[in-house]
Every structure is written in C-alpha cells, then in structure tokens.
A and B are shown apart, each in its own frame.
Chain A
Amino acid sequence: MIERDHKSAAFFDAAAEDRLVIRRCIGCRQALPPEAVVCTTCAGTDLEWVQAEGTGLLASYTVVHRAPHPAYRVPYTIGVVELDEGPWLYARVNAESPTVGLPVRVAFRHPEEGESFPVFEEVPA
C-alpha cells in the first residue's frame, strides 16, 4: 500500500485522475522525473508539475523471477520507462515479450487501499 508524503502528493493526486505528471525546471525548462527535487541540468530548485503525454519506450527492463521479499508475486516486469519528454521512471510493465526500445504507454492502477499509481503497457502495433 502506498502512503503519500508532501513531495509526492501532486503525483498521486494526478494518478487518481488517470494523469501522469512529471517535474519541469522553471529556470531552464528541463523535464525531470517525478521524484526530482533539484534540476540535474542547472541545479535549480524551482520546479513545477506538468502533465506528461504518457507515452515512451523501455530504456531497459527486467523480468524478476526471484521475489525480493515473499510479499511479491513473481514473475513481474520492471521497466526503466523513457518518457517522450525525456525523464526516466521505474514502473511495472505489462508486455508479452518486453524488449529494450519497446513503445509503451501509461495506464493506472487504483488499489482499494493506498494511492493510485501508473503502470505501462505495450502499445499495440
């Protein structure tokens, strides 16, 4: 179950509405991952939330076979999703046979308890 904190509140509010938001540096316009607290280009700390298209590709992925903890059901796929805006984020991926470079798009999970969160699905050819 995901419990929000003050740095992630806007992200989970958006996820509850099926929207993916990322950070953007107000100073240099660099698009940044949702968890960014500082701009990796200019070191600026004035960041804003902006909506992402929700499309991208797999910069990498792994199918996890050995559960890191008994609470996880294996196998599951974790992707490094490269959003079209540039930032990377770690996410669950639903794809028949994932490959690096596979186009993906966002969907959302709305668990009964805890915050909503994004997952990514293979874009049908």
Chain B
Amino acid sequence: MSIANRTTIAGLGLTDVGKVYDRSATELAAEAVRLAAVDAGLPLTEVDGLLVSAGVSGAPKLSLQKVLGLTDLRLLAEFNALGASPAAMIAHAAATVANGEASAVACVFADAPLKPKGSARDAFGKPRARPTGFAAYHAEIGAVTPNLFYALAAQRHMATYGTTSEQFGAIAVGQRAWAADNPAAQFRDPLTLELHQASPLVAEPLRLFDCCLVSNGGAAVIVTSAERAADLAQPPVEVLGWGQAHPGRVMHRDSDFGLRTGAADAGPAALKMAGVDVGDVDLLQLYDCYTYTVLVTLEDYGFVPKGEGGAFVAEGHLAPGGSLPCNTGGGQLSAYYLTGFTPVVEAVVQARGQGGARQVDKTDVVMVSGNGGVLEHHATLVLGGAR
C-alpha cells in the first residue's frame, strides 16, 4: 500500500460565493475552516495543521492561526503554487498526516477580488504600478492579463490540431447544464452553442463564455487519517494519489506552450500512486479557468490522444448523461471561481454521494486537477469515493 491510502478528506467548508461584499478574504478563510470542522464533526481545537493559500487579495496569511484561535500547531505555512495550490496543499497535508507529523490538517483558500462597484476587469486587469524594463514594454503593448496568454495558448492548439471554437463551446454548454442543479452556482440559466458563439470575443479565439467568472468566497478541507475519519461525521473521501509538474514557460522554438502542459506529467504520477489508470476514472473535476484548459488537460491526462480532445468533447461526453462526467457542479465557468478549490469542492461532494440532483452514479475514482499561472504549474489529486 502506498502512503496515500491512509489519508482522507474528512471535512469540507464552503462559504457563500459570488458577490459577497461584507467579509474580507481573511474572514472568509476563517469561516471556511470553521465550516469544515463543523462538517467533519471535529472540534476546531483538534486541528493541528493549517495550510493557507491567498488570491489577489493577498490574504489569508499565517495570521489566520490567530484569527482562528489555534495554538500548538504541528504544521503551519502559506502555500503558493497559484491555481495549483489547493490540490498541492491537500497532497502535502495528506503526506504530513500519513507520516504522523500532524493528525488533522486544514487547507484553506479565500479571496475577495470583487468590490461592490467593480468588475472582473478591475479585479484582475490592473497593470502593476509603474513597471520598468521589459515589464513596461509588455504593459505598453498590452501583453497583459491571463485572458490574453490563454488565448495565445488556445490559438496554438487550434492551429496545430484543428481544434475549433465550437468544440470549446461544447465544454461551456455541458458545464452550464451541470450548473443548473448546483444551488451554489452563479450562472444556472441554460447555455446553447449558439449563445456561446454569439458571446463577445474577449481575446481571439476566446469568447466571453470560454472564460471563468470571478467570485468572492472561501473553501477549506480537513485532512485526517483514515482511522480518525472513521469516527467523524462524514463519509470519508480517500486521498489515493497525487502529483505535481511545473514546466515553466519556454520562450523558444522548441516550446510546447499551448500544446502540452504539466498535466501530462502530474496526471500519470498521481494515477500511478493511486494504483489505477485513466480507464478506472469515474469522474473528473478539471481546473477550467478557460474551456481550453479542460480540453488540453483531458488530452494530457490521457483520456484522449493528443489533438483529439476537441472531437471528443463535441460528442458530449463531459455533459450530463455523458460517458465521462466532468465539472459536475458547473466548474469555474458557471459555478464559482475559488481557484483549485472549485474542482476539489465538487469532487468531495460527489465522492460522498451528496450531489443531490447532479449526483453521478459511480465515484470510486475521482480525478482532480489544479492549474496555476499560464499553464506553468499543475497539481493532480486522485480521490476515492465513500464505499
């Protein structure tokens, strides 16, 4: 047995998400951890490890310990692998618990980029204050913001493999159909391929409905040993495997930017640790900052051969009723954006069998991705549903 088989996600906390203006990121983080402890049936004082991850708000920080009134922790750190942080934090927590260094580790992310009169553009589009040198050149020409860099990645995938905007649209349409049954989702109205194609271009080839939304909120999980979880309130979700890959970005002719990502290394590593392969995966929760990200991750994980992701998603496999359910809560595209916690939260809900109207039948093996920066950081989790 690998070390991974002895740990579980025993608690899950999710605050209100979306236009939540009355709480700071730190307050949202504290609330998420408290909710996760209550959910687990674990007194907060028994939490002896805390990993915190911040978004554009720059909090929570180490001081979350004090905010929560926690003392005598065995593990405490700020964690930053951008969008890969949640999956990477959970892997680190699982390893720490498996090693016996801590017994109940809370992992939390919260952010509050939205302001009452602001927009997503204000939250993420601000040029840095007076950059100099090459950063000033990039600011001058407008080579800024994730939208643009993911557009460059998606365009290269399209040119190389013949992927189409309609195929990206199939991902958005399928996820919106899942979101209809998620009360926490921000966008639940039906989306058609025609509406996707009619949505305004943001940065070619990406349209508005290819892009994730922006949310305020917080999410947390509590990782314990399997033995500890057996006495707690929720069906334990096993942490079966994990892996990371940080390819960076090669700015040279040989670069596989846009074509192949860290998922190609992290995914197989996580599956190997879990002792399964892609054919055993029942349910996918993939980081979906853009529709393109889902498509390239599917290919890199090995669910379809490289370059065939577009045709595969267009057949509706990821949507309700499909052969490979994916982002069953609506994902970052339709539900809410809490970086890598968006797929983690839905994975835990489904693995426990608590998905309500959107619950899938089989959750023995659930694969979760986290992606950070512009495809520079990747973390994978393989979770096992309560049996």
A residues within 8 Å of B by Cβ?
1-5, 7-8, 11, 32-36, 40, 59-69, 71-72, 76, 78, 80, 82, 86-92, 99-101, 114-115, 117, 119
- CB pair A90–B132 under 8 Å, yes or no, is no
Q: Say whether, besides A2-B137, A3-B130, A69-B121, A59 and B204 are in contact (CB < 8 Å).
A: no
Q: Residue of A at shortest CB range from B141?
A: A92
- The reply to whether the CB of B156 lies closer than 8 angstroms to some CB of chain A is yes
**Are B255 and A68 touching (Cβ within 8 A)?**
no
Query: Given the complex of chains A and B, what is the CA–CA distance between A76 and B141 in angstroms?
Result: 9
Contact digits for B227-264, partner A, Cβ 8 Å, 1 yes 0 no? 00000000000000000000000111111011000000
- A66–B250 CA distance with the chains assembled, in angstroms: 27
A78-B152 in contact given A62-B204, A88-B252 (Cβ < 8 Å): yes
Question: Measured between C-beta atoms, what is the minimum distance from B167 to chain A in Å?
Answer: 17
Bound Cα distance from A18 to B292, whole angstroms: 38
A-B contact count (CB 8 A): 131
Closest to B248 in A: A40
* Shortest beta-carbon contacts, A-B, top 8: A100-B159, A5-B133, A62-B151, A8-B133, A60-B156, A88-B251, A90-B143, A35-B134
Contact flags (1/0) for B104-144 with A, using CB distance below 8 Å? 00000000000000000100011100101110111011111
**A65 near B200 (CB under 8 angstroms)?**
yes
Are A63 and B203 interface neighbours, CB within 8 A? yes
Q: Tally B residues with Cβ within 8 Å of A.
A: 41
Interchain CB contact under 8 A, A2 and B258: no
Give chain B's interface residues, CB within 8 Å of chain A. Answer: 121, 125-127, 130, 132-134, 136-138, 140-145, 147-148, 151-153, 155-156, 159-160, 200-206, 250-255, 257-258
A86 to B138, CA, bound (A): 20
Most buried by A among B138, B142, B206: B142
Q: Which single residue of chain B is at the shortest CB-CB distance from A36? A: B251
Choice from A61, A68, A88 contacting B145 with Cβ under 8 Å = A68
> Which chain B residues lie closer than 8 Å to A68 at the CB level?
121, 125, 127, 142, 144-145, 147-148
Q: Are A1 and B140 in contact (CB under 8 A)?
A: yes
Taken together as a complex, chains A and B put the C-alpha atoms of A61 and B267 apart, in Å, by: 29
Give the distance to chain A from B188, nearest Cβ to Cβ, in Å: 24
A66 in contact with B126 (CB, 8 Å) = no
Inter-chain contacts of A67 with B (CB < 8 A): 121, 142
Q: How far is the CA of A108 from the CA of B144 in the complex (A)?
A: 20
**When the two chains form their complex, are residues A33 and B126 in contact, meaning their CB atoms are under 8 A apart?**
no
Residues of B within 8 A of A66 (CB): 121, 147, 200-203
A60 touches B159 (CB 8 A): yes
